[in-house]
Amino acid sequence: MKVAAQIREPIEEEMELFENKFRESMSSKVALFNRITYYIVNRKGKQMRPMFVFLTAKLLNNGKVNERTYTGASIIELIHTASLVHDDVVDDSNKRRGFFSINALWKNKIAVLVGDFLFSKGLLTALESKDYDLLHIISESVKAMSEGELLQIEKARRLDITEDVYYEIIRQKTARLIASCCSMGAASVMPDSEEVQIFRRFGELCGMAFQIKDDLFDYGSERIGKPTGIDIKEQKMTLPLIHALNTSDKDKKRWIINSIKNHNKDKKRVKEVISYVKEQGGLDYAVKKMLEFKDEALSLLNDYPDSPYKASLTLMVNYVVERKK
């Protein structure tokens, strides 16, 4: 059995019901929008984020979920989908998971409007069910995601990212949404409990490990859905690169910065930077940090009794750092 299917097994029934509810939540009276959302739904990924919601809820509630859990999962997937649509516009990306992106097929204006619609749908889903605590959780995430994206853009212009700033960027851009998944799962069955904060931290640590793994793909040769060196071409300062800068002499630092600022479209120069980062131990350092985040996340599960849901969450955390794409 594939890892994704193993993770999903204890929540298979909930995920099937969720997918039907999610399709319904994306419906509109506008035919064009329905065509676009049909395209989105039929090219969905593994749905890792709603799986975090259901697994956390079932872990904490003796294997049971409630309507609030479904609401939380729908909010998360709507907001996540909206952010992907907007990200493709921001990054001027024509592909998403191997398929044409919304902006590539329907142009930027429509893609931005579709993203806006999905964001508003996510927030309205919480309002309509009067789940104000879930609304607060997701609103904080949307704010953090926007700030993280802007912080990255600001730093890309000056290329002055320290390791701490890098962690702040990925915490806001990626980890906060996964933190919201887990805290929503907890809040749906145990509102106002200590578990809401424990699982917010658990999700954040998973998200940090997830993003570092994504950054490592930029230096690999496996087929992963994005070309090698794309982060360097986009002037994104990732952990392997930051480590290489921190361990280089002034001349080499100047060469790296100049390469990223002025030669980031030169394939040969980008390959040279990638080779240098590897030689400086940038990849080994990033892997070490990724595994530290993973181990801290797993340690938070130690206080909970063994169950199929704990086993799936453990498998999910390990999958985050072992995945091939």
Q: What would the pLDDT profile of 108-120 be if each residue is shown by its tens digit?
A: 777 777 778 888 8
State the residue for tokens 């909930």.
Answer: 14
Q: Residue 10 has what DSSP assignment?
A: G
Helix (H/G/I), strand (E/B), else coil: 234: coil
| Res. 87 pLDDT band, cuts 50 70 90 | low
Q: Which residue has the higher pLDDT, 269 or 30?
A: 269
What pLDDT, in 10s, does the model give residues 127-150?
A: 998 999 999 999 999 999 889 988
* Torsion, CA 225, CA 145, CA 169, CA 316, rounded to 10: -60
198 compared with 96, residue with greater pLDDT:
198
φ/ψ of 27, rounded to 5, equals -75, 150
Task: Using a pLDDT cut of 90, give the percent of the chain over it.
Answer: 49
Among 43-47, 200-204, 304-308, where is mean pLDDT lowest? 43-47
Given a contact cutoff of 8 angstroms between Cβ atoms, the answer to whether 242 and 166 are in contact is yes
pLDDT given for residue 196 in this prediction: 97
Find the range with the poorest average confidence among 155-159, 195-199, 227-231. Answer: 227-231
Cα–Cα distance for residue pair 278/283, rounded to 1 Å: 6
Determine the pLDDT at residue 234. Answer: 73
Which residues have C-beta within 8 Å of that of residue 155, sequence separation ≥ 6? 161, 165, 169, 237
User: 140-144, 265-269, 287-291 — which is least confidently predicted?
Assistant: 265-269
Mean pLDDT (the chain) is: 85
Is 280 a residue whose pLDDT tops 60?
yes
Please say if the pLDDT value at position 310 is more than 60.
yes
Q: Is the pLDDT of residue 73 over 80?
A: yes
Q: How confident is the model at residue 212 (pLDDT cuts 50, 70, 90)?
A: very high
The answer to whether residue 273 scores a pLDDT higher than 60 is: yes
Residue 222's pLDDT is 46
Mean pLDDT confidence for 8-31 = 85
Residue identified by tokens 């890098």 is 166
Q: What is the pLDDT of residue 224?
A: 39
Instruction: Judge whether residue 195 has pLDDT over 80.
Output: yes
Q: Which residue has the higher pLDDT, 230 or 73?
A: 73
Stronger pLDDT, 88 or 52, i.e. the higher one: 52
* Predicted local distance difference test score (pLDDT) of residue 155: 79
Looking at residue 98, its pLDDT comes to 54
On the question of pLDDT at 154 being above 90, the answer is no
Return the SS3 of 99. strand
The pair of structure tokens assigned to 313 is 């969450």
**Would you state the pLDDT for residue 115?**
77
